[in-house]
Amino acid sequence: MTQAPRKNLLSTERRGKKWMVTAGVILALISSIIFICATSPWMLYLARAVEWIALGAFMGTSNALLLHHTSQQYIKRSLAYSSMATLLGFSLGPAICGVIVQYSSFSPETFPYVVLLVLLLFALGLLFSLPPTNEKRNKQTPIRIRLGIPSKSRRLFVFFVCTAVFVMLALNGVVISLIPTFVHTILNLNNLAWSGLLLLIFLGGGAIAQQIAWPSHTNSRIQVGIILLLIGAWFMITAGFTSSMFLFIVGMILLAIGNGWTFQASMQLAGSLGETFERPTIISTYYLAGYTGMAIPTIGVGSLSTIVGLLPALIIFGTIVTLIGAGIIAVPKISERKKVSSM
């Protein structure tokens, strides 16, 4: 990110980080209400659109708000807890929904959003209980969407941190969309609760894997995590070809560990780059890269599968992601060589 006047960095400078996070939660509440009241397809699309706006407003700024209330020596630990909570949230959602849809006789299509509504109201109450951030606010600053790349670590951030979270969520998005199919073809089950349980193991396992201390170096943790993600993805693809339960389970375990290490370490690295006032835009850019990785490849694989079939589409996807992953592993080494040669 080029050095710009601080007042132009982000719309949080207009009202503050706490206000932006609160706005995200309120938009999520509105989205849940629309889902509950939906009676036609356009309302579902509207609810989903509002939900993604809420997520965009919340995710990056919430981490910046967390860092605002965190002492300098505890920043790495706080970001580790944040990444763990994110994976746990993503895993508990489908697990709870799967059980409700499969076993609840009380409006199973809307009841999950009622549960979400209650949780969001609880989160809103916790937000109001936070002390004020005492930020300098400029109400004349126009509201705008601004992203940021740290000027001193541009190469590392773009080609290593952002690309790592892109690959991680690209694999997650495709695997998550395929798990119901795998449950049916490999496990021979039609119970939706099993799909939710596998997602709980898949993403929740990533949160648990973050407690493993090795490898301790941030860059190495990301690199090993990417390797595990790629190997796990190929195990899953092969399981789809062979309908092998063993390959399916091993692939899920490798992907879970790779998720935990890659997300935790890349989040910590993103939070350590740039100046303090740059972090909201840096983390927002980090999440944009991640959710782009979840959206575009999933749509691409789905579209390609209609032309060449699902498994060939997965092979093409796996090959492309493997090549990107090899580049991620090489970036820090290239940077280190350049530093040595310039000395």
343 residues of the chain, pLDDT tens digit each: 333 333 333 444 445 677 778 888 888 889 889 888 888 888 888 988 888 788 777 776 776 777 666 666 666 677 777 777 777 777 787 788 878 877 877 777 788 888 888 888 888 888 777 776 555 555 554 455 555 676 677 777 877 888 888 888 888 877 777 777 777 777 777 777 777 788 888 777 777 887 777 877 888 888 888 889 889 888 888 887 777 888 888 888 888 888 888 888 888 787 777 666 666 677 777 777 777 877 777 788 778 888 887 778 888 888 888 888 888 777 655 554 444 344 4
Tell me whether residue 74 is in a domain: yes
Tell me whether residue 164 is in a domain: yes
Query: What's the pLDDT tens digit per position in 311-335?
Result: 788 888 888 888 888 887 776 555 5
Domain at 93, CATH number: 1.20.1250.20
* Buried/exposed code over 64-92 (b: 16+ C-beta within 10 A; e: otherwise): bbbbbebeeeebbebbbebbbebbbebbb
What SS3 string covers 78-145? HHHHHHHHHHHHHHHHHHHHHHHHHHCCCCCCCHHHHHHHHHHHHHHHHHHHCCCCCCCCCCCCCCCC
Domain total for the chain? 1
What residue type is 192 in one-letter code?
A: L
Tell me whether residue 142 is in a domain: no
Tell me whether residue 232 is in a domain: yes
Hey, is 10 helix, strand or coil? coil
pTM of the entire predicted model = 0.70
Q: In degrees, to the nearest 5, what angle opens at C-alpha 58 toward C-alphas 53 and 62? A: 165
Range of the domain at 288: 9-130+147-342
